[in-house]
Structure 1
Amino acid sequence: MKIETNDLIIRNFELSDANDLCEYMLQRVNAEFEAYPDFNCQKVKKEVEFRAQSDEFYAIELKKEHKVIGNIYLGKRSFNTREIGYVLNENYQHKGYGSDASKAVIEYMFSQGVHRIYAECAPQNIPSWKLMEKVGMRREAHFRKNVSFHKDTNGYPIYWDTYVYALLNSYEEVCSD
């Protein structure tokens, strides 16, 4: 897949993306939401190889810098549905790149016949659910204590609530009314 916007290219990962991937993944080691505590740059080769072969992870490249500034996740789910997720390098957040990439990917997925796209995030992750609303997704649910990214001092999972946002293929909505 390759999608271009004015500022971005959303594309498959390449092995040459290792340094950029390492840069933003190291920012996620102690992240409040979806941390990767065991990530280090020695593991980046394996991670970039995995992503380069994946049909669910896509690089977000900033055109003017030819730099991968994050990724879009498009997990395949039952019933012609995709789960979308996004991670951006902290140095490129709050500039509209996340919503630009998400809109472009959603439009592309719908043009390919995907029925529904959904995402989940913690209620405390305000920038994430605001991005979902900005791209037209609607909050459908509030799941209580259903995910865990961290453990307490005794090693037990700390569970978080999540909001579920979704968007239906608008062509299908018009045809089914």
Structure 2
Amino acid sequence: MKIETDDLIIRNFDMADENDLCEYMLQRVAAEFESYPNFTPEKAKEEIVLRSKSDEFFAIEFKKTHKVIGNIYLGKRNFNTRELGFVLNVDYQNKGYGSIASKAVFDFAFKKGIHRIYAECAPQNIPSWKVMERVGLKREAHFEKNVSFHNDDKGNPIYWDTYVYAAINPNENDVNGKMNPSLSDDL
């Protein structure tokens, strides 16, 4: 897959992306939301091999510098559904790149016939759910205490709530044969 926007290229990972992947993944070691506490520079070698073979992880490349500044996850789920996720290098956050990349992948997936896309985040992770809303996902659920990213001092999991956002392909007909309303009207 290769998608281009004005500033970004969303594409498959390749082995040359290892250093950039390592840089932004090390920033996630102690992240408040969805941390990767066991990630090390040595694990970057394994991770780049996995991601370069994956059809679910895509590199977000900054066009001007050709630096990989993060990734988009489009995980395969049942019923022609995909789970959307994104991670950005902290130096590139709060600049709109998460929204741009997510929207580009979102539109690409719907053009390819994906039925539904959903994403999840903690209610406290305001930047993530703002991106979800910006790209046209609607909040469908609020699950209480259903995920854990950290443990307390005694090793017990600390549970977080989760918002679930989703959108149905606007190009599909509903059960009455009518087209679903365009998501672009909400942006």
Q: TM-score, normalization: structure 2?
A: 0.92
Structure 2: which amino acid aligns with 1:119?
A
Q: 1:118 — aligned with what?
A: 118
**Take 2:142 and 2:177, find their aligned partners in 1: how far apart are those partners?**
27
**Take 2:16 and 2:86, find their aligned partners in 1: how far apart are those partners?**
20
Deviations 1:66-115 (A, max 9, x none): 00000000110000000000000000011111100001000000000000
Structure 2: gaps (5+ residues): 179-187
**Take 2:132 and 2:146, find their aligned partners in 1: how far apart are those partners?**
20
Q: 1:45 — aligned with what?
A: 45
**Take 2:43 and 2:81, find their aligned partners in 1: how far apart are those partners?**
31
**Take 2:154 and 2:169, find their aligned partners in 1: how far apart are those partners?**
45
**Take 1:157 and 1:166, find their aligned partners in 2: how far apart are those partners?**
27
Q: Say whether 1:161 aligns with 2:140.
A: no
Greater shift, 79-88 or 147-156, is seen at: 147-156
Q: 1:92 — aligned with what?
A: 92
Structure 1: gaps (5+ residues): none
Q: 1:154 to 1:48 in 2, by over 3 A?
A: same
Name the SS for the 1:73 alignment partner: strand
Identity fraction in percent: 70
Q: 2:181 — aligned with what?
A: none
**Take 1:137 and 1:154, find their aligned partners in 2: how far apart are those partners?**
37
Q: TM-score, normalization: structure 1?
A: 0.97
Q: Say whether 1:25 aligns with 2:31.
A: no
Any runs of at least 4 consecutive aligned residues in structure 1 with deviations exceeding 4 A, and if so which?
A: none
RMSD, matched Cα? 1.0
Structure 1: which amino acid aligns with 2:32?
E
Aligned residues: 177
Q: CA deviation at 1:176?
A: 3.7
Q: 1:76 — aligned with what?
A: 76
**Take 2:62 and 2:23, find their aligned partners in 1: how far apart are those partners?**
15
**Take 2:96 and 2:173, find their aligned partners in 1: how far apart are those partners?**
28
Name the SS for the 1:119 alignment partner: strand
**Take 1:173 and 1:6, find their aligned partners in 2: how far apart are those partners?**
31
**Take 1:12 and 1:95, find their aligned partners in 2: how far apart are those partners?**
22
Structure 1: which amino acid aligns with 2:72?
I
Q: 1:67 — aligned with what?
A: 67
